Chain A
Amino acid sequence: MFAAMLTRLRALLQRRRVARELDAELGFHLEMEIQSNVERGMSPAEARSAALRDFGGIVQTKEAIRDVRTTTVESIWLDVRHAWRSWRARPGFGLIAAGMLGLGIGVTTAMFTLVDALILRPAPFHEPEQLASVYMGSDHGGRTTVAPAVLRAWRESPAFAGAESAQADTAILDVDGRVVTRGIAWVTPGLFDLLGNVTPLAGRLFDPFDGRAGSDDRVLLSEDVWRRLYNADQAIVGRRVSIDGERLTVVGILPADFRFPAWNTVIWRPISFDAPPPAQSGDRPAVYVRFSGNMPRTDALRLATDASRAADAENAGLRPWVRPVAGMVLDAYYQRAVPLLAGGAVLVFLVLCANVCSLLLARFTARRREFGMRAAIGASRGRLMRQAFIEGSLLGALGVIVGAGVGWALVSIARAFLPEVLLLRTLNPLNVDVRALGVTSASGLVATLAAGLLPAWIGARVNAGDSLRVIDRGGTETRGARAVTRGLLVVEMALGCTLLVGATLLVRSFIKLAGAERGLDTSGVITATMSLPSSAFPTPQARAAVARPLEEQVRQLPGVQRVAWSYGLPPGGGAFSVGDWTSDAPGAPVVNMVVERYNVGPEFFALYGIPLLRGRSFQPSDTREDVVVGERLALALWPNLDPLGRTFTFLHARFHVIGLAREIHHPSLDATLDRPEFYHRFAGVGSYAMLSIRCDRACPDPALVRQRLTATHPAVHVVEVRALDDAYFEQLARPRAAAALAFAFAAIAVLAAAGGLFSVLSYAVGRRRREFGIRSALGASPVQIRRVVLRDGLGVALIGATLGSFAALILARSLASLQYGVTVSDPLSWAVVVGVLALTTIAASWRPARQAMRLDPVLLLREE
């Protein structure tokens, strides 16, 4: 360290010495010249001025000598020092530019890290694009799993390289008396081979005979379960654990990041669909296949269709439907929203880059003058370009550092605040994507360099003397600079406007969604879902025997007013039926639709505040054929008739309408979730039971409800207890997140555009002081001068907003799937957009305009 300081000191001293010697050398020359002039008979004064005249530019000579003497490394160091000094002279400017660049880089990097982790990165299996889940379906939308025989047929068929089954479920684990629930999957032993890249941490995978009678008591555990529940017990392989009341032998541990087929699957049990012997009767495989690379998909599916029909006559009207595994971890909402938001991040990035460019170019004229001056005193063009390059690189580097920091912070925030459900689905840790950081940093650098090199290029091109003179006298902005800065501002405004339209539509959608009519009173309702395993409760009598104390326990809780059993709970519904519904109305067409079916206890309608518009509610004497219909179903089946007393048929069953209930709605971006419904009388608790609880002012804590239910009978498995408002709120969480993110993007873009407009206009006013002075000397009123500046700003904003609106109209088409109750022609949204843009433009232009207005012509002209 001391040595390094010494070297630097010596270099510094040496530089001083060189400069001193150069002065002495040139001074000596001048002296000799004067002396020789005197000897030739001139007066000393004459001799001196003649010598100076002969010598020409001393400064230029020095600069030329310095150019010759300094090595490249030295001169780069000089340029770096120069850049540092000029930044120090105006730190605010550099910080703002680097900050904006960094913000753009950071936001874009974070967004692409998310997109990549959630959507683009394939499932971590061997050739995941060849993997798919397959089910049978009709063209009307009905979906069904296949029979075991079909799975066997597909295994034999050349259509697929492999076919296996994986069915997710929930299991109850008993770990030394502690009971917990975890995701489990029943898988055929060959599944792991089908996926590929699955290696157990300990033990083995299933062997081909696991799952058959006698060897179905095997289980694989995830590292996650092993660590959390079994304390990473090294001797667990070969031991028996208690799962769903059975004692199962652990054969292996799988890595924590292997989760299949569901994001929460952490336990795997073998199941065999080999014939004979048939496996657990009634179980049907959920099929996953691997396509072979050398057969076109259409051919493979045709073969698969034939095989399925040959194996099972039920498949006559059906055909296989394929869902790729690579994209299965995300639901439709995220698949639509995340790429759109990533596109929004790109727009923000472009706005910020354009902003940095326009900031740099706003100083175009000043820089040009500086470069012209330096060219005049002998700096070569290469030298000037290099200096501009170094300045741009420094700014860019600062921006990249800021950007990496912002990106890291945003990804950390995402990691901390994104729902765990979503994070686990990525199957990969969420880390800042280095490729995205690289690409955005490179683009940002190119933008700053382009904006930095332009003034140097033009400054060095102009004849040195000319550039000094022209710029000093001109007093207005040069035409080129004006065109470029205004062009960039128009781009910024356009992108900002596009983002603003998108954000407004999303925010409005969210507000509409939150305020949408649900058709029932959701506040003060708690719902509980329970599973009554058939091993503990084999008969309806046994289930009824436990249902009574369960209900009593809940009724005794303070604040509880009403309790109702049902099968099916809003907003998700219960069972839905797909197919042809036939009304008894004369000449009425057959309606094919998806209809929600609820089985409801006596207090259900009163509890939820669903009024019966016609007819009556259920009585104990009602049969399964007596139903209460919702308004939408009634309207579909009997468009102009009173539904009361009428009948309709579905799948050979005839239903008799005893009442008409007000329609309940399921507000969601996915319109297909909001289905018409009808109600059956609740006949008794099944293996899956739902309890609704209405309370007055003080609702019991859902945890208390869960505790009471669990305490009633040890075999009752409480799946979920929650406030109904929370259930609806979850439906809103994602649209709200999307709207908030889009709003943040739009805010950044609009503020950046406004900031750019402000700085460019302020700068232009500074440049045009002389022009304004002359104008007002010629009789222009202050108001007229203000109008000139305001017109400049508003013109830019108007062109930008017009272009941005067109872009938004195009964009809105892809945004349609995220909108609820709002279209792109929504007048309120456009009023908001126009209002916000107009206000920001006026706010950004006001101060520069006032500056221009307050210029004193007399003072100005005297300055000349």
Chain B
Amino acid sequence: MPKTEYLQGALDLLVLKTLALAPNHGWGIQQRIRQVSRDALSVSQGSLYPALHRLEAAGLLASEMAPSENNRKARIYRLTAAGRRRLNTEAADWEQFSLAIRRLLQLA
């Protein structure tokens, strides 16, 4: 399993997409990304939490302290309307970008 250094844009996209499904806490987001990508993508806490706080400061996420499944208080993040709009544009951009890369690779 290759260790991947993510572009910041890619990390933002992953976080936004994960939260688009359901509000979640940091650990949940991390687990979810790992599961969905079948262990191909692993986000370290050192990158994840600064990214969450940055996105929140930018108004793309909202958060509150709420009890979680094991009854401990956790910070639950959810997508805001602005976050949803950003997700749409970023997803479209990513599609275009990866399509371009794929074409290039097939050509070569």
Asked if A and B are interacting partners, one says yes
Residues of chain A at the chain B interface (Cβ within 8 Å): 21, 24-26, 28-29, 31-33, 35-36, 54-57, 60-61, 64-65, 67-69
Instruction: Report the separation of the CA atoms of residues A60 and B70 in the bound assembly, to the nearest whole angstrom.
Output: 27
Which residues from A are CB-within-8-Å of B30?
A: 29
Q: Residue among A36, A54, A65, A67 with the most chain B CB within 10 A? A: A65
B27-51 at interface with A (beta carbon < 8 Å): 27, 30-31, 44-46, 49-50
Q: Tell me whether A61 and B46 are in contact in the complex, defined as CB-CB below 8 angstroms, given that A21-B65, A69-B53 are known contacts.
A: yes
Residue of A nearest to B68 (CB): A28
Contact status B46-A64, CB under 8 Å? yes
Residues of chain B at the chain A interface (Cβ within 8 Å): 25-27, 30-31, 44-46, 49-50, 53-54, 57, 65, 68, 70, 72-75
Instruction: Report the separation of the CA atoms of residues A748 and B31 in the bound assembly, to the nearest whole angstrom.
Output: 69
Contact status B53-A65, CB under 8 Å? yes
Contact status A25-B49, CB under 8 Å? yes
Contact status A24-B73, CB under 8 Å? yes
Instruction: Report the separation of the CA atoms of residues A741 and B44 in the bound assembly, to the nearest whole angstrom.
Output: 68
Which residues from B are CB-within-8-Å of A60?
A: 46
Distance in angstroms from B55 CB to nearest chain A CB is 9
Distance in angstroms from B78 CB to nearest chain A CB is 15
Which residues from B are CB-within-8-Å of A29?
A: 25-27, 30, 45, 49
Contact status A28-B45, CB under 8 Å? no
Q: Tell me whether A65 and B50 are in contact in the complex, defined as CB-CB below 8 angstroms, given that A24-B65, A25-B26, A55-B45 are known contacts.
A: yes
Which residues from B are CB-within-8-Å of A54?
A: 45
Which residue in A26, A31, A33, A36 is a CB contact (below 8 Å) of B49? A26
Q: Tell me whether A25 and B50 are in contact in the complex, defined as CB-CB below 8 angstroms, given that A33-B27, A35-B70 are known contacts.
A: no
Contact status B46-A68, CB under 8 Å? no
14 A-B pairs within 8 Å (CB atoms) are namely A21-B65, A24-B73, A24-B75, A25-B49, A25-B74, A25-B75, A29-B25, A29-B26, A29-B49, A31-B72, A32-B70, A61-B45, A61-B46, A68-B54
Which residue in B25, B31, B53, B70 is a CB contact (below 8 Å) of A68? B53
Residue of B nearest to A36 (CB): B31
Q: Given A21-B65, A56-B45, A56-B46, 18 other A-B contacts at CB below 8 A?
A: A24-B65, A24-B73, A24-B75, A26-B45, A26-B49, A28-B25, A28-B68, A28-B72, A28-B73, A28-B75, A29-B49, A31-B70, A54-B45, A61-B46, A61-B49, A64-B50, A68-B50, A69-B57
Contact status A56-B44, CB under 8 Å? yes
Residue of A nearest to B72 (CB): A28
Instruction: Report the separation of the CA atoms of residues A65 and B75 in the bound assembly, to the nearest whole angstrom.
Output: 14
* 6 A-B pairs with least C-beta separation: A64-B50, A32-B27, A25-B75, A68-B54, A28-B74, A29-B27
Instruction: Report the separation of the CA atoms of residues A69 and B50 in the bound assembly, to the nearest whole angstrom.
Output: 9
Distance in angstroms from A19 CB to nearest chain B CB is 13
Distance in angstroms from B102 CB to nearest chain A CB is 33
Instruction: Report the separation of the CA atoms of residues A69 and B25 in the bound assembly, to the nearest whole angstrom.
Output: 18
Distance in angstroms from B95 CB to nearest chain A CB is 28
Distance in angstroms from B31 CB to nearest chain A CB is 8
Which residues from B are CB-within-8-Å of A35?
A: 70
Instruction: Report the separation of the CA atoms of residues A69 and B27 in the bound assembly, to the nearest whole angstrom.
Output: 20
Instruction: Report the separation of the CA atoms of residues A29 and B26 in the bound assembly, to the nearest whole angstrom.
Output: 7
Distance in angstroms from B8 CB to nearest chain A CB is 12
Distance in angstroms from B46 CB to nearest chain A CB is 5
Which residues from A are CB-within-8-Å of B50?
A: 61, 64-65, 67-68
Which residues from B are CB-within-8-Å of A31?
A: 70, 72
Instruction: Report the separation of the CA atoms of residues A528 and B5 in the bound assembly, to the nearest whole angstrom.
Output: 99
Distance in angstroms from B47 CB to nearest chain A CB is 9
Contact status A68-B57, CB under 8 Å? yes
Contact status B44-A28, CB under 8 Å? no
Which residues from A are CB-within-8-Å of B46?
A: 56-57, 60-61, 64
Instruction: Report the separation of the CA atoms of residues A65 and B49 in the bound assembly, to the nearest whole angstrom.
Output: 7
Distance in angstroms from A57 CB to nearest chain B CB is 7
